[in-house]
Amino acid sequence: MAFVLLRIRYRRGKSAPQQAESLCTVTRERISDYEPLQATDDLSECNLIVFGSFGSVYKDVLRSGTAIAVKVFNLQLDAAFKSFDKEYDVLCSLRHRNLVKVITSCSNLDFKALVLEYMTNGGLEKYLYSHN
């Protein structure tokens, strides 16, 4: 019995990192660091979806026709650096029909952004806080 449990644990431990690694590479699309800026008209107010505590989210379409949401982190806040890393890791490693998929990320010293699949049905607050 103990041998079977050890064997199952060994197999799970060995296959889990490979699966998490492949989840992120499947959804990644090669785009330049400047394409999200161009797609959102250099982060224009007319494309702004929401302004949050660590940054803003903009909506637009890439040249390939993919609808995107670009989450741009406010690098003036120290916590935004950690938030960027954690959100990227979590969204790449989890799969659920109610979670957005990461298309790619843009990261350099002056700019950090997550390029996400755009969800056309709107945010949860519409459903959670509706007055119907």
CATH classification at residue 79: 3.30.200.20
Q: How far is CA 108 from CA 3, 30, 71, 73, 111, in A?
A: 48, 16, 15, 12, 5
Confidence of residue 123 (pLDDT cuts 50, 70, 90): low
- What percent of the chain shows pLDDT beyond 90? 4
Confidence of residue 45 (pLDDT cuts 50, 70, 90): confident
Question: What pLDDT does residue 27 have?
Answer: 43
Residue 104 · residue 117 · CB < 8 Å: no
6 has pLDDT over 80: no
Q: CA torsion, points 38, 39, 41, 43, in degrees to nearest 10?
A: -100
Domain total of the chain: 1
Give the structural domain span for 92. 2-128
Instruction: Report the C-alpha gap between 126 and 124 in whole angstroms.
Output: 5
Question: What pLDDT does residue 38 have?
Answer: 61
Reported as a single tens digit per residue, the pLDDT across 9-22 is 444 444 444 333 33
Question: What pLDDT does residue 73 have?
Answer: 92
Instruction: Report the C-alpha gap between 67 and 120 in whole angstroms.
Output: 9
What number of helices (H) and strands (E) belong to the chain? 4, 5
* β pairing state of 102-107 and 67-73: unpaired
20 phi and psi, to 5 degrees?
Answer: -65, -40
